[in-house]
């Protein structure tokens, strides 16, 4: 008796990218550049929408981005200093709105581990609880670790945060799983995120800063005491894009007056984060 059952879907349909290749090319896709070209042609043909295209491109780019490209720099890390009175650091943590914090003794050169906000609730309910008993092990990764490797590490260890160390073993920053996912899907806002301009420009190292692309040129000029201007754009990301005369990609650099701009984060449509360095 001949079965009329349909074959399994895995044999009935081809892989998504195989189908795209068949639609747009006769030859086989053999490298990333060809794959990206195929995907972008799919967007032109309305097979994909802008958001899907952006996410696919972000997923393909993570292997080219290192931990130090996305990390929160050391100067901006919120840590629990257990050498301070409890009422001091507790108020600071509540105000920060984060869910995990490095626990330190003095500063980030002496990390004890990680404290979770939900564990700190025990302290609020019972002041006799010792916060040192709540500390969990910290994970450390090198500045050079590719983001795709870090994402696999987060998944396999069920971790959400890692401390980034330099070649000498010192803490240079902190990175979370949200930072990695935002590189793929775009910014993830929550109830603690604010659009205040105060966070647009962050010191990264002596003579170097991280600047959000949405930073108004006026704010940039005021912060750096300079006079950058662009008659077509209001933001520093728009100015940089205008100078490139194309939407720049991660890693590209350009010099404008006394500043060197490096693209830290960008997608197909816009720049998102810039590294800025003052030069003579």
pLDDT, one tens digit per residue, over 227-243 is 998 888 888 998 999 89
Residue 28 has pLDDT above 60, yes or no: no
Q: Considering only CA atoms, which of 227, 260, 264, 232 is closest in space to residue 249? A: 264
Q: What is the mean pLDDT of residues 241-252?
A: 87
pLDDT value of residue 221: 93
Element (H, E) at 81: strand 80-81
Are 132 and 184 contacting, i.e. CB atoms less than 8 angstroms apart? Answer: no
Q: State how far the Cα of 175 lies from the Cα of 73, in Å rounded to an integer.
A: 9
pLDDT value of residue 78: 82
CA–CA–CA angle 65, 255, 73 (5° rounding): 40
Listed range (122-126, 181-185, 245-249) with the worst mean pLDDT: 181-185
How many CA atoms are closer than 13 Å to the CA of 120, on its beta-carbon side? 21
Residue 167 has pLDDT above 70, yes or no: yes
pLDDT, one tens digit per residue, over 95-128 is 666 778 899 998 888 999 998 878 877 877 888 8
pTM listed for this prediction: 0.55
**Measured in whole angstroms, how far is the alpha carbon of residue 195 from the centre of its chain?**
17
């Amino acid at each position: 008796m001949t079965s009329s059952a349909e074959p399994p879907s895995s044999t009935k349909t081809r892989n998504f990218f195989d189908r795209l290749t068949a639609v747009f090319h006769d030859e086989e896709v053999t490298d990333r550049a060809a794959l990206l070209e195929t995907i972008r042609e799919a967007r032109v043909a309305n097979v994909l929408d802008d958001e899907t295209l952006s996410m696919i491109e972000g997923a393909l780019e993570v292997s080219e981005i290192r931990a130090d490209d996305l990390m929160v720099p050391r100067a901006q890390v919120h840590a629990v200093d257990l050498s301070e009175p409890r009422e001091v650091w507790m108020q600071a943590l509540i105000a920060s709105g984060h869910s995990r914090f490095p626990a330190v003794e003095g500063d980030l050169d002496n990390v004890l581990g990680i404290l979770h906000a939900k564990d700190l609730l025990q302290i609020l309910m019972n002041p006799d609880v010792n916060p040192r008993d709540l500390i969990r092990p910290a994970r450390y990764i090198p500045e050079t670790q590719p983001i795709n490797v870090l994402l696999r590490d987060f998944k396999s260890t069920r971790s959400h945060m890692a401390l980034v160390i330099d070649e000498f073993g010192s803490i240079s920053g902190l990175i979370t799983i949200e930072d990695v996912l935002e590189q793929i899907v775009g910014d993830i806002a929550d109830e603690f995120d604010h659009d205040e301009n105060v966070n647009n420009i962050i010191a990264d190292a002596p003579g170097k800063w991280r600047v959000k692309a949405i930073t108004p040129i006026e704010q940039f000029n005021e912060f750096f005491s300079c006079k950058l201007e662009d008659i077509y754009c209001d933001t520093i990301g728009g100015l940089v894009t205008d100078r490139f005369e194309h939407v720049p990609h991660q890693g590209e650099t350009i010099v404008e007056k006394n500043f060197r701009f490096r693209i830290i984060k960008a997608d197909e449509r816009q720049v998102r984060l810039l590294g800025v360095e003052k030069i003579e």
